[in-house]
Structure 1
């Protein structure tokens, strides 16, 4: 049977595009924004903390953010029931 490896995204904000060459060594570089100077890098969950620390120490990296997707509740269907969002009518 095919097993999926647990992966997590790291959002890397950078100063120069030259750092993108070295990001390939740490994981899969899936998206690069030339205009807003950030890249999305996918790494294995097992090596996540180690890779995040190494990427933060690269020279042209401004800062690194973690993806919030693994922390979200996948069964959340109605935001109004949980109290996170209240629907407003125009009449109110």
Structure 2
């Protein structure tokens, strides 16, 4: 089975140094215009990776992605309004 992954959004001062981030995880996207990198790391090593990445000189700010915490199972408790218009 696949390991649980956590997304990190890294705001960088220069996008030329993003190659160095590959040793921490998988680079998903690099925005050269807005200067950020989306990096996926294993959840069990996310804290360690965040501390190590923060020490890099070209990293300005690190934000954690909340995508895996969003509920994706929906229930339809709302009554169907299609019957009202027939």
* Secondary structure of residue in 1 paired with 2:23: coil
**In 2, Cα distance between equivalents of 1:77 and 1:60:** 44
**In 2, Cα distance between equivalents of 1:69 and 1:76:** 16
More helix by share: 2
Task: Tell me the matched-pair count.
Answer: 77
Gaps of 5+ in 2: 79-86
User: Shift of the alpha carbon at 1:76?
Assistant: 4.2
User: Shift of the alpha carbon at 1:77?
Assistant: 5.7
| Larger Rg computed on CA atoms | 2
- The structure 1 segments of at least 4 consecutive aligned residues displaced by more than 3 Å after TM superposition are none
2:13 match? 15
RMSD: 1.6
1:3-82 alignment, distance < 5 Å:
3-76=1-74
What's the TM-score once normalised by structure 1's chain length?
0.75
What's the TM-score once normalised by structure 2's chain length?
0.80
Query: What are the Cα deviations for residues 20-72 of structure 1, in whole angstroms up to 9, with x where unaligned?
Result: 02101100111000000001001011101110111111101110000011221
